[in-house]
Structure 1
Amino acid sequence: MRRVRAAAVGAVTVSLVLTAAACGGGSSSGGGGSNDSPKTLTYWASNQGATVEVDKKVLRPELDRFEKQTGIKVKLEVVPWSDLLNRILTATTSGQGPDVLNIGNTWSASLQATGALLPWDAKNFARIGGKDRFVDSALGSTGAQGQDPAAVPLYSMSYALYYNKKMFAAAGISKPPATWAELVADGKKLSKDGKWGLGAEGSNPSENIHHAFVFAKQHGADFFTADGKPDFTGDGVVSAVKQYVDLMAKDRIIAPGNAEYAQNQSVSDFAKGKNAMLLWQGASANLASQGMSQDAYGIAPVPVQSGTPGTGTNVNSMVAGINLAVFKNTDNLDGATKFVKFMTSDAEQKILNTAYSSIPPVRTAQSQAAFNTPANAVLKETLAASAAALPQVADESQFETAIGTAVKNLFADAAAGRPVTTASVKAELEKAQQQMPKK
């Protein structure tokens, strides 16, 4: 998810603080979709580009193409990640929202548990060409196991390491790091003269949880037990979170100011040459929109603990991506499913995933030449071989917010010069676990 992408930063207990008016659009008669006419749909798109305006420029021509083909007009709203989850949850409780919406794929099970989304059973999949059109890794993040998916894959992404070729050459570094020890060593060589080895977005809980998850998997740890209970304070999780925050606190290859960074700020710094490395999902289009040439950077897999094959677990990305969901009580189910079919068609998959530097989750689209570039090879190989799906549990969205905020607090400690210790990391994770719904 995004961007990746993957979780919102607002609180998930929206019924306490938000009202139905926050949704905008939707039906005033209690229905879930826009009921202006059967020829109208409301679509909430997530912010995938460098700005909301970039997304509008990408999407509007395609929505106009859909209207020309079907006669159905699409009212578009691009929703920033900081608002998206709260907006969706408000819509699920109020019954007022869009007909079709983007969701971070990691939220699928949580939103599925609300009962508000259309289940994609065999009949509904048949209306868009069949379930077997989609790759298995993308389908793995569409809802809880054993249940019909709550959404359809739209964009697939994985994390990669982006590195500035000129800065690497100037520092005498001949290849990108493959392990975290190498990344730290390279980062120290690169952190000088007002520039830093690596960028981060310490106040962006969605980015924080993605990295914490990957580090935890590399430490052989999970955030939930086999029966779905939160387990945030085990030794593996604590060590993983500490290792990530220590990139600022101990290793000093991330600028302290990054503790306050929000969405896309680390990408902007990388594009401007302020940081030599960036951990991101499909960043090429974002970097191009900020004037950085593809020749200026390289793309490599995210480092692991001890190299490949090495020892330990070599997961180096979460299965990132965006899913397309339909509100079950839409007044225009036929139009909504036609829209999903359109957006997941081979032609649209090529256009949209090219625009966002993502990988099509549709098999036939993914095999097109446009997605077989050297840069995409890293992303595709990661998705196929070394990415893991975040927990598909009903409390997943709460988990993302709680852990992402815990890491945010630890980055704030690091930036302020307060010690980040095993004990302090465990204490923050314990607070996060206490925020989870009691079973």
Structure 2
Amino acid sequence: MRSIRAAAAATLAISIAAGVTGCGGGSSAKGGSNDSPKTLTYWASNQGPSIEADKKILTPELKKFEEQTGIKVKLEVVPWADLLNRILAATTSGQGPDVLNIGNTWSASLQATGALLPWNKANFDAIGGRDRFVDSAVASAGAEGKDPSAVPLYSLAYALYYNKKSFADAGISKPPATWDELVADGKKLSKDGKWGLGAEGSNLSNNIHQTFVLGRQHGADFFDADGKATFTSDGAVAAVKQYIDFMAKDKIIAPGNAEYAQNQSLTDFAKGKTAMVLWQAAASTFASQGMKPEDWGAAPVPVGSGTPGTGKSTNSMVAGINMAVFKNTKNIDGAKKFVKFMTSDAEQKLLNKTYGSIPPVKTAQADEAFSAPDLKVLRDTLSTSAAPLPQVPNESQFETAVGTAVKELWADAAAGRPVTTESVKARLEKAQQTMQQ
């Protein structure tokens, strides 16, 4: 999922706590469809460099769908900063689209509103069957044991991106495979006003993504089997401290990164100010900022053992975009036809190649277009070493609470205040208390 603002996540948490039930979709009000079986309204998330770029990419594809089915799709590309609040307004007002994109980490939370069409066997069969999709992608589409609330559309994973020239200048021959190697390389690279690693301390979702993965590596999940928050476990505390220590102790992240928001770390990387960054599919962003493919490389995110895998060798959350349908749309058949079209092999290959993401559809993923070195890293990560964020109804509240705790710890590190096991645990205890209110 592309990162979202904390306010949106907080709004979702409040809505879930208040017991919102969904009644959105398919209305004739502004933003909805006109109830015609020949018309659908689609809210697409902003995946490309700009909203206009997304319109340019998607419009000809929607025209293809209209030519094939006679159903016209009214497109609106919604910025990530607005998308969740727009969805929530639709669940309560009934003034929403027929089909929409959602970040996959929202799946269980939005599922709890009751607004989205459950993808049971019959609905999956209508789009070609559940087994067409990669298991890890489906696992991120709703709570375990329940029918998914959405269908995977674009899959993303984290990789370690590195500047080849910076590495060569520092005498480093290959990207680090362990965290010890990353710290050692980062120290060699942090000189002359440049830094080894980039981060985004004010980006709450990115904070969660990184600390969740480190938590898995320390044997922590942040929630127990009953969905109860366990933010202060030894593993969770160690994970957060390890992340903050890249700045506080190891001095490989610039103090100014504590205030960075979405994509600022990528800008620094593209300008050569930092030599490494942990990010989801970043190739298109680097290209838009003037980097050439030969300027950078991609490697798996480090793990303690040096060999990514499951459990304590997990090195990415399962990131991506899912496609959902408001269950009371007046054009349910048309909506399912549109989901089938967007998840067809042809569209999956075209759109994921354009956006630099990985198809969650198995047959499309095997295409040669996704064999480039950086995409192979992402594909292998999704297949072997990625895990979905906790699929619990209050997941977005978790993103806000723990993401904010990590943001505050970044501020401590940037200001030179001590970051200790005790101070980390205290911040996480405060975050856990907010989950119980």
TM-score (norm 1): 0.92
* Counterpart Cα distance in 2 of 1:211 and 1:50: 23
Shift in Å at residue 320 of structure 1? 1.1
Shift in Å at residue 284 of structure 1? 1.0
The 3 A distance-change label for structure 1 pair 349 and 275 is: same
* Counterpart Cα distance in 1 of 2:9 and 2:201: 12
Shift in Å at residue 77 of structure 1? 2.3
Shift in Å at residue 315 of structure 1? 0.7
Is 1:249 matched with 2:248?
A: yes
The 3 A distance-change label for structure 1 pair 310 and 334 is: closer
Between 87-96 and 334-343, the greater mean CA deviation after superposition: 87-96
Between 61-70 and 377-386, the greater mean CA deviation after superposition: 61-70
* Counterpart Cα distance in 2 of 1:330 and 1:194: 55
* Counterpart Cα distance in 2 of 1:223 and 1:197: 29
* Counterpart Cα distance in 1 of 2:127 and 2:6: 25
Shift in Å at residue 59 of structure 1? 1.9
Amino acid at match of 1:86: N
Could you say which residue in structure 2 is the equivalent of 1:261?
A: 260
* Counterpart Cα distance in 1 of 2:152 and 2:309: 33
CA contact (8 A) 1:33 1:332 kept: no
Shift in Å at residue 261 of structure 1? 1.4
The 3 A distance-change label for structure 1 pair 221 and 345 is: same
Could you say which residue in structure 1 is the equivalent of 2:428?
A: 429
Shift in Å at residue 137 of structure 1? 1.3
Once the two structures are superposed, residues 173-216 of structure 1 have per-residue CA deviations (whole angstroms, 9 ceiling, x without a partner) of 11101111111111111112221111111111111100010010
Could you say which residue in structure 1 is the equivalent of 2:202?
A: 203
Is 1:168 matched with 2:160?
A: no
Could you say which residue in structure 2 is the equivalent of 1:27?
A: 27
Shift in Å at residue 66 of structure 1? 2.0
Could you say which residue in structure 2 is the equivalent of 1:142?
A: 141
The 3 A distance-change label for structure 1 pair 260 and 398 is: same
Is 1:75 matched with 2:74?
A: yes
Amino acid at match of 2:290: G
Between 143-152 and 85-94, the greater mean CA deviation after superposition: 85-94
CA contact (8 A) 2:35 2:330 kept: no
Once the two structures are superposed, residues 267-312 of structure 1 have per-residue CA deviations (whole angstroms, 9 ceiling, x without a partner) of 1221121111111111112211222111111110001123237998
Once the two structures are superposed, residues 73-112 of structure 1 have per-residue CA deviations (whole angstroms, 9 ceiling, x without a partner) of 2222222223322222222222221211111112211111
CA contact (8 A) 1:6 1:104 kept: no
Shift in Å at residue 36 of structure 1? 5.5
Alignment of 1:33-432 (within 5 A): 33-35=32-34, 37-308=36-307, 313-432=312-431
Once the two structures are superposed, residues 377-416 of structure 1 have per-residue CA deviations (whole angstroms, 9 ceiling, x without a partner) of 2111111111111111111121122211211121122222
The 3 A distance-change label for structure 1 pair 310 and 83 is: closer
* Counterpart Cα distance in 1 of 2:225 and 2:109: 17
Could you say which residue in structure 2 is the equivalent of 1:12?
A: 12
Shift in Å at residue 355 of structure 1? 1.2
Residue 338 of structure 1 aligns to a residue whose secondary structure is helix
The 3 A distance-change label for structure 1 pair 227 and 78 is: same
Amino acid at match of 1:246: D
Structure 1 gap ranges (5+): none
Shift in Å at residue 256 of structure 1? 1.5
* Counterpart Cα distance in 1 of 2:56 and 2:393: 35
* Counterpart Cα distance in 1 of 2:54 and 2:193: 33
CA contact (8 A) 1:102 1:325 kept: yes
* Counterpart Cα distance in 1 of 2:83 and 2:411: 24
CA contact (8 A) 2:25 2:328 kept: no
Amino acid at match of 1:224: F
* Counterpart Cα distance in 2 of 1:372 and 1:298: 14
* Counterpart Cα distance in 1 of 2:336 and 2:309: 46
* Counterpart Cα distance in 1 of 2:114 and 2:323: 16
The 3 A distance-change label for structure 1 pair 88 and 437 is: farther
TM-score (norm 2): 0.92
CA contact (8 A) 2:27 2:96 kept: yes
Residue 435 of structure 2 aligns to a residue whose secondary structure is coil
Between 307-316 and 240-249, the greater mean CA deviation after superposition: 307-316
CA contact (8 A) 2:10 2:396 kept: no
Shift in Å at residue 4 of structure 1? 9.6
Structure 2 gap ranges (5+): none
CA contact (8 A) 1:221 1:236 kept: yes
Shift in Å at residue 115 of structure 1? 0.6
Between 426-435 and 76-85, the greater mean CA deviation after superposition: 76-85
Amino acid at match of 1:381: D
Residue 435 of structure 1 aligns to a residue whose secondary structure is helix
Residue 358 of structure 1 aligns to a residue whose secondary structure is coil
Shift in Å at residue 47 of structure 1? 2.1
Amino acid at match of 1:209: I
Between 295-304 and 395-404, the greater mean CA deviation after superposition: 395-404
Between 84-93 and 172-181, the greater mean CA deviation after superposition: 84-93
Once the two structures are superposed, residues 218-245 of structure 1 have per-residue CA deviations (whole angstroms, 9 ceiling, x without a partner) of 0111201121111101111011001101
Shift in Å at residue 365 of structure 1? 0.5
Amino acid at match of 1:407: V
Residue 196 of structure 2 aligns to a residue whose secondary structure is strand
* Counterpart Cα distance in 1 of 2:25 and 2:360: 29
* Counterpart Cα distance in 1 of 2:308 and 2:140: 26
- State the identity %: 75
* Equivalent residue pairs, number: 431
* Counterpart Cα distance in 2 of 1:7 and 1:303: 31
